[in-house]
Amino acid sequence: MVLDLPQLYARLNIPVPVTLPACEPKQIRGVNTLEMAGQTDLCFAEGLEQAQAVQGSRAAAVLVHDSFPAVTGPALIRVAEPRASFFLLAESFLPVSEVQGIHPSAVIDRSAVLGAGAAVGACAVIAAGVRLGERCTIGPGVYLGPGVIIGADSVIEANATVHRDSRLGERCTVHSGSVIGGDGFGFQWDGEGHRKVPQLGRVLIEDDVDIGCNCCVDRATLGETRIRRGTKIDNLVQIAHNTDIGAHVILVSQAGVAGSSTIGTGAVIAGQVAVSDHVKVGAGARIGGQSGVTKDVPAGAAVFGTPARPMKETLRELASLRQLPELLKQFKRQQQDLDTLRQRLDDLEGGSVRGNQPA
């Protein structure tokens, strides 16, 4: 993709400045940071303190606020929200998918149904009864198990696995290495050993869900594990059987949600959070990093720590803990002073008794 400055203004739906024709013609071929930009890159700057960095950048153009100071060097494109405008334009420079058409090495069962424009990469395996929506992209080495249904415009990246009967909505992305629909962790002690509980349910993922690399979403024991629309999941996240992840939830790297738990709409689960089984996290709740959630969290609450408690309360306790070494020193000094005073008092009382004894 190559854009000139007038085309950039057109994509941002803002008028071209009258001074633009006097500028040196510039082509935009990519996006980058101010420090690493080349002469055909587009960048953005949000703070006035970045004026020197903008002036020193080799970028062709920089998106800035209306109040940003005039500097020499890159062309300044003034917009209300530089960051949002930048990422809107950055979509124009996304690389074209390497998967085009149906690769001859792909193994596709005769009963599978591929929608118009679907693409399947090298060595992918598509089992019986699979249905792909229009314009789906199935990367190299992907396995789609029997009965899998994937909605239009979804992408399953290289070496991901979607097991039997799993269903994904439209415009979903499953990044490389993730496994959807593997067995849940269900075992029962039978007196001699841990007997596996059959995992007979499925996974249902609604529209516009993004699942990062090396995540696991387990199938339900019975019924379904559900991830609702618009939810975004970072790398290395574990979603256990029969969980219900609400709409537009954020799950950050290395978080784990145990079986039969519910995460409410719009909740944010930070990195390395552990949510215990059968716990309900309310809509809009915020769980701080590395917390252990063992009890229900009310809607809109912000909690932190292990066990997770109200964030302000926990932070005050942590601040107090930092003062503990000094408080212990003060206590020891006070204890020493008290022991000294007691000794002096004992000495005074002893001297008084001896002075009152008869000669």
Q: Catalytic site residues?
A: 241
- Distance (Å, whole) CA 64 – CA 57: 14
* 323 HSE (CA, 13 A, CB side): 9
Indicate left, alpha or beta for 319 from its phi (over 0: left) and psi (-120 to 50: alpha): alpha
Q: Among residues 277, 194, 187, 191, which one has the least CA distance to residue 238?
A: 277
Q: Helix, strand, or coil here: 331?
A: helix
**Contact indicator for 32, 46 with CB cutoff of 8 Å:** no
Task: Annotate 194-256 with DSSP letters as a single string.
Answer: EEEPP---EEEE-TT-EE-TT-EEEPPSSSEEEE-TT-EE-SS-EE-TT-EE-TT-EE-TT-E
Residue 13 makes CB contacts below 8 A (sequence gap 6+) with: none
Q: For the chain, what's the residue count?
A: 359
Alpha carbon of residue 92 to chain centroid = 23
Residue type at position 319? A
Other Cβ atoms less than 10 A from the Cβ of 46: the count is 14
Pairing mode, strands 107-108 and 125-126: parallel
- Distance (Å, whole) CA 4 – CA 40: 10
